[in-house]
Structure 1
């Protein structure tokens, strides 16, 4: 089975403190979340975690967009 990086590791590549992009802001905030599931790849597990613990995420649609970017990257 091929190695696939975690969602968190991918998300950290999207950080940009100067950006107004919602995914970049999500990444900036997730970096400070000490309990973020850093090894997780599963959409369902990440979604469950974020719905219960990520007050810094104003809309789950931002996560959906970031996760789609992650999936697209993992296809290569």
Structure 2
């Protein structure tokens, strides 16, 4: 079973790093409405575009999603 994007994103959290994906992960961890079970790009993208204000650029999401896909491939999911 493929892990959700949110589950992957939580592996990117870090209280000390300040890169864009880490800041995104830290903010998403505090978002109680984030679609935590989703593995669907469009669902997560739509949510971030319409429901949040903590992501300054969707390019950050695109980068995080690419890392998610690469991670899933490495795990054989």
- Give the TM interval when normalised to the shorter protein: over 0.9
Q: Report whether the alignment pairs 1:13 with 2:11.
A: yes
In 2, the alpha carbon distance for the partners of 1:9 and 1:16 equals: 14
In 2, the alpha carbon distance for the partners of 1:66 and 1:9 equals: 12
In the alignment of these two chains, the number of paired residues is 74
Q: Which runs of 4+ in 1 moved over 3 A?
A: none
Per-residue deviation, residues 24-71 of structure 1 (Å, max 9, x unmatched): 000000000010000001101100000011200000000000000000
What CA RMSD, in Å, does the superposition of the two structures yield over aligned residues?
0.6
TM norm structure 1: 0.95
Q: Could you tell me which residue of structure 2 aligns to residue 52 of structure 1?
A: 50
In 2, the alpha carbon distance for the partners of 1:28 and 1:43 equals: 19
TM norm structure 2: 0.93
Higher helix share: 2
Q: Could you tell me which residue of structure 2 aligns to residue 75 of structure 1?
A: 73
Where 1:75 maps in the other structure, the secondary structure is helix
Where 2:12 maps in the other structure, the secondary structure is coil
